[in-house]
């Protein structure tokens, strides 16, 4: 059975604080570590009232320090917001502190609205240099050769083979990841539209490298697992509200679920949410299992990255445990999910 990993946005919930979000992240990561998940990734977002993981590298260090076995990384760092040298130094530091446990996923989007993006990078052409910036970053992790005395070195970073992934929600990063021979993660949990085409293109064009000898695809999904289908559907209304607010240009703290969504959004907005969140699995473990099995069989990911967008932290932890149980059953090949 394919490995399962966790994607955490360090959710700031309505009624909670940033401190609560960080404490919840550390607790969830420790639970994921104990349950045998492979990776725990945090994502860079800025000026978002519901997301606390803006200083992604700092939070990765805290999570790695609080866990023992699980790989910890960025899913991802938005490279146009940063100098490649600075990211190489940051993740070289993390890899030195936690050897063999750090991943670096790179994205091209700003992780923010356009006004915030300008405040972050102050260069509107930075995304156009993404491909060359990725190549530059990879070079900083290479060992130094004697004739390279004139080059700039990342210290720490030089000679450390930090696994570098490309993240995307379109075809651009799929093509680039294939050309550079890097593992590829697709953001199907919120942008599934080009998932199948991107994965097919990546696999068809993949060029083996020392970093990744064969194509490796990770697909992200939302899992809102609960004790029964009714509770799962109720908990999913938090994510629906959150995305509606985001699309309206008024981001909010992650809201509690609501029993009745009548009148909260228009039919057109409902259609948008249904499409955007089509890779969301909500309900009991028994009802999620066959749908998740079908998703894996249809798209054949090498790894699954699971987001758990649930308002109540206790129920989020319960969903993590249910997901670990589903992974075990899927690995055993049970046809019924029981």
List pLDDT tens digits, range 71-111.
999 999 999 999 999 999 999 999 999 999 999 999 998 76
pLDDT number for residue 338: 36
pLDDT number for residue 336: 42
pLDDT over threshold 80, residue 168: yes
The model's confidence at residue 275, banded by pLDDT at 50, 70 and 90, is very high
Mean pLDDT of the chain: 93
The DSSP symbol for 51 reads B
Residues 6+ apart with CB under 8 A from 250: none
| pLDDT one-digit tens code per residue, 192-244 | 989 999 999 999 999 999 999 999 999 999 999 999 999 999 999 999 999 99
Host H or E run for residue 66: helix 56-66
Percent of the chain predicted with pLDDT > 70 = 96
pLDDT number for residue 128: 86
Residue 325 is assigned to a structural domain of this protein: yes
Contact indicator for 101, 39 with CB cutoff of 8 Å? no
Residue 136 is assigned to a structural domain of this protein: yes
pLDDT over threshold 70, residue 337: no
pLDDT number for residue 124: 74
Residues 6+ apart with CB under 8 A from 30: 66, 67
Q: What is the mean pLDDT of residues 171-184?
A: 97
pLDDT number for residue 111: 64
pLDDT number for residue 118: 78
pLDDT number for residue 120: 79
Residue 338 is assigned to a structural domain of this protein: no
How would you label 284-308 residue by residue, b for 16+ Cβ within 10 Å and e otherwise?
Answer: bbebbbeebbebbeebebebbbbbb
pLDDT over threshold 70, residue 149: no
pLDDT number for residue 335: 47
Residue 92 is assigned to a structural domain of this protein: yes
Residue 98 is assigned to a structural domain of this protein: yes
DSSP 24-85: HHHHHHHHHHHHT-SEEEE----S-TTB--SSHHHHHHHHHHH-SSSEEEEEEEEGGGS-HH
Residue 270 is assigned to a structural domain of this protein: yes
Residue 17, CA distances (Å) to 40, 61, 235 in order: 22, 20, 20
Task: Report the CATH number that the domain containing residue 253 is assigned in CATH.
Answer: 3.20.20.30
Residue 159 is assigned to a structural domain of this protein: yes
Phi and psi angles of residue 314, each rounded to the nearest 5 degrees, phi first: -60, -40
pLDDT over threshold 50, residue 152: yes
Residue 206 is assigned to a structural domain of this protein: yes
Total domain count for the chain?
1
Token pair recorded at residue 181: 């021979």
Q: What is the mean pLDDT of residues 5-22?
A: 97
Closest CA relative to residue 55, chosen from 33, 27, 86: 86
pLDDT number for residue 127: 81
* Residues spanned by the domain of 173: 4-333
């Amino acid at each position: 059975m394919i490995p399962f990993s966790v994607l955490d946005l360090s959710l700031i919930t309505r009624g909670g604080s940033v401190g609560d979000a960080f404490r919840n992240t550390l607790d969830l990561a420790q639970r994921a570590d104990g349950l045998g998940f492979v990776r725990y990734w945090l994502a860079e977002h800025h000026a978002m009232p519901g997301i606390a993981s803006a200083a992604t590298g700092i939070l990765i260090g805290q999570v790695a320090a609080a866990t023992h076995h699980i790989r910890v990384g960025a899913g991802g760092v938005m490279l146009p917001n940063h100098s490649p040298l600075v990211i190489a130094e940051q993740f070289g530091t993390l890899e030195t502190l936690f050897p063999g446990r750090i991943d670096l996923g790179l994205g091209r989007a700003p992780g923010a609205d356009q006004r915030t993006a300008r405040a972050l990078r102050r260069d509107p052409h930075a995304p156009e240099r993404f491909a060359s910036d990725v190549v530059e970053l990879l070079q900083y992790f290479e060992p130094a050769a004697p004739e390279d005395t004139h080059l700039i070195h990342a210290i720490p970073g030089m000679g450390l083979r930090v696994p570098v992934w490309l993240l995307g929600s379109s075809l651009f990063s799929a093509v680039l990841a294939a050309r550079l021979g890097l593992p590829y993660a697709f953001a199907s949990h919120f942008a599934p539209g080009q998932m199948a085409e991107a994965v097919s293109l990546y696999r068809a064009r993949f060029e083996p490298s020392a970093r990744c000898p064969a194509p490796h695809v990770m697909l992200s999904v939302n899992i809102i697992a609960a004790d029964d289908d009714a509770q799962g559907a109720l908990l999913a209304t938090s994510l629906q509200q959150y995305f509606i607010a985001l699309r309206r240009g008024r981001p909010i703290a992650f809201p509690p679920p609501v029993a009745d969504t009548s009148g909260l959004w228009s039919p057109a907005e409902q259609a948008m949410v249904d499409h955007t969140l089509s890779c969301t699995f909500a309900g009991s473990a028994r009802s999620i299992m066959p749908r998740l099995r079908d998703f894996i069989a249809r798209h054949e990911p090498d790894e699954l990255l699971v987001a758990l967008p649930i308002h109540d932290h206790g129920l989020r932890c319960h969903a993590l445990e249910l997901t670990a149980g589903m992974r075990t059953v899927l690995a055993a090949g049970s046809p019924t999910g029981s």
